[in-house]
Amino acid sequence: MAHTTFKVGRLTCHALEGGRQHLDGGAMFGVVPKPLWQRRIAPDARNRIPLALRCLLVEHDDGLVLVDTGLGNKEDDRFKDIYGVVNDGANGRTRLEDALAELGHTPADVRWVINTHLHFDHAGGNTYRDAAGQVGVTFPQARYVVQQGELEFARHTNERTAASYRAPNFDSVSFTLVDGAAEPLPGIRCLPTPGHVPYHQSVLVESGGERACFLADLVPTSAHLPLPWIMGYDLEPLVTLESRRRLYARAQAEGWLLVFEHDADVVAGRLGRDGNAFGLVDPVRAG
Ligand SMILES: [Zn+2]
């Protein structure tokens, strides 16, 4: 199965498996020494660890809401080798589209797309490349939402940020921009969680007093739950630290379900303790 279904109050949600990428374990764990991180996620011969490309689909009264869009189909073989991308669809253009089809949906059924940020592994599926090489919008009936600051940041890259932002993923998209905390539709909230990039957002789903949070790159896998286990990719790691501290306080007080975009095994779980550090309880594993 390419999806895992759960309820948040009366909202039905699906974690959709969009395939895999494989990134350098050292870069993924920042200053954490390898003897510690390799106990949690074992690296391959190229020192890379497997990562999911998981998206969240919410069946909302206002239509289907998709949070992040995976990596898409526009990249060439060289790129896919470097990042260890495995996301070709069996029937659709990508595994994400296969997962949608498994639930009986086509890309045209999606009414809202919310991007947590515009890195290629989160927004690559915003658009697709057809057989003639033309780029089109993948979800033609959807309103695409992103932080205004993130769109500007993506359009003005420097030597450090350029590799992650690829213009075909966002140039041809007409975005609805939000600025800071926002509720683009009832019960779907954008929570600014800066650090990985300055305008990164997580997405909180609320219904009937229950809450689930799609963390995106604030906490990419459950192995990253301890506060200082921050990716080397993060542009402002000390800002990530404070974003986590703030979010964890609410997640604990309100019993949030935490959904992990990049964890190859664990789809979701709740915040608990692992000795003195934060850890995971009640894990939901990919099927
Ligand atoms: Zn990212």
CB-CB contact of 84 with 27 (8 Å): no
Neighbours of ion ligand 1 (CB under 5 A): 119, 217
Q: What whole-number distance in Å separates Cα of residue 267 and Cα of residue 51?
A: 11
- Ligand 1 center–CA 10 separation, angstroms: 30
At residue 1, the pLDDT reads 78
- The DSSP secondary-structure symbol of 142 reads P
- Ligand 1 center–CA 218 separation, angstroms: 9
Q: Which two tokens stand for residue 128?
A: 């697709």
Residues lower than pLDDT 50 in the chain: none
- Ligand 1 center–CA 22 separation, angstroms: 14
The DSSP result for 150-184, as a single string, is HHHHHHS--TTTGGG--GGGTTT--EEEE-SSEEE
CB-CB contact of 263 with 251 (8 Å): no
Greatest Cα pair distance in the chain: 55
Beta-bridge partners for 284: 268
